[in-house]
Amino acid sequence: MKKLLLLCSSFVLLGSVAQAAPCLSGSLDSYVALGAGGCEFEGLTFSNFQLLSIPFGATELPSINITVNPLMAGPTGPTGLEFALTVAVGAGDFLASRFQYDVLSSIGGLSYASVGLGGASATGDGVVTAVTDAGGAPVIALVDSFNSIPFSATTFGPAAFLTVITELGVDGGPMGTASFASATNQFATPEPSTWITAASAMALAFATYRRRKA
């Protein structure tokens, strides 16, 4: 009997250790420090945050200054993370951040991912971009002096687990300015009407992004 009680208590202890702590607002560096344990928010576990190399010619946005905020789902909206850092650049300046993390769902298959820009603006040939690859499905949000596509989303086959790579860029160009306040990644199972809106926004953003890179 004592052995059985000891075994049961061991399982309870292991379960409590394995369970991720709640996600709280903190720096991107603090999320990197969470490691494989990560944190949990509204049925999603975010873990294994890593900083990646930034594009050639860019100056890295300090990860210690990027604040990560959990985003609570609304009545019909998805949940996810906000990456906040108010920054503005002038002509000749190009700032960027690139990082990846894992998302694990305990409430059903994920089949929707989005990227959004908040408080983004640009003048001249400046541009603000947020590019996210969620399990091989890329989405692009882009704001320049000609286009405003601050939100883009994609759908894919249901997956319990995703590896997400996000790249943020604030580029003043040779003769412009650019600024932004935040970027968001959100995940959910979408309604059919969302698929049409997401596909249209993604197609327009991708076409604009390709033209700027050409």
Dump pLDDT digits (tens) for 91-126. 999 999 999 999 999 888 899 999 999 999 999 999
Inside any domain, residue 119: yes
Inside any domain, residue 95: yes
Looking at the DSSP assignment, which residues form a beta bridge with residue 81?
Answer: 70, 185
In the prediction, which pLDDT does 3 show? 39
Inside any domain, residue 7: no
Dump pLDDT digits (tens) for 180-206. 999 999 998 655 444 444 444 444 444
Q: What is the pTM of this model?
A: 0.81
Inside any domain, residue 38: yes
149: domain range? 21-213
Phi/psi region, residue 173 (left: phi>0; alpha: psi -120 to 50; beta: rest), is left
Inside any domain, residue 5: no
The pLDDT confidence band at residue 8, using thresholds 50, 70 and 90, is very low
Tell me how many degrees the CA angle 78-97-124 measures, rounded to the nearest 5: 95
In percent, the amount of the chain with pLDDT more than 70 equals 78
Inside any domain, residue 82: yes
Inside any domain, residue 149: yes
Count of domains observed in the chain:
1
- Which residue is it, tokens 């926004």? 201
What is the residue-wise DSSP string for 165-214? EEEEEEE-TTT-EEEEEEEEEEEEPPPHHHHHHHHHHHHHHHHHHHHHH-
